[in-house]
Structure 1
Amino acid sequence: MSDLERNKQVVVDYYQTAFGGNPEKAVNDHFGDRYIQHNPDAADGPEAFTGFVTWLRGEYPNLKLDIKRVIAEGDMVVTHSH
């Protein structure tokens, strides 16, 4: 398996684990020492991420993440989700 394919698998696992209801596991499995959030409604850091996902799932209990596309190039992975 290429590095790009492995990176794509890591990102998909991260999103599915976090938004599937276990953001703590997603953080423990995939976060490093530093986490910078790109969403302006969420703060940086693993604790903030866990809190945001927990809040989001509380607000939308039927939340489902449908990943439509995963694109990898160099050291970046981008998802298109609904």
Structure 2
Amino acid sequence: MDEIKYPVLTEKTIRLLEKNQYTFDVSQKSTKTEIKQWIERFFNVKVIAMNSHIPPRKKKRIGPIIGHSIRYKRMIVTLQSGYSIPLFSNK
């Protein structure tokens, strides 16, 4: 469960929700099969396809020190029609 960090909600990912595609930021070490198995078990859904990419690094500056943001992998998960993942709780 530590491999999936959080769901991504941007303008593009909201448009992908109409196609039954969900986007998550995951650990860079995790593989597609690990994430697929975890999502299928945890959310009780059927995954059709997995796409992944690693976004470019962004510079961060704190005073005179220049560093980089933490690296992560972004996964786009396509679900079978009829399945969905609740991104927000109703609380």
Normalised by the length of structure 1, the TM-score is: 0.29
Q: Greater CA radius of gyration, 1 or 2?
A: 2
Return the structure number with greater helix share. Answer: 1
Normalised by the length of structure 2, the TM-score is: 0.27
Return the structure number with greater strand share. Answer: 2
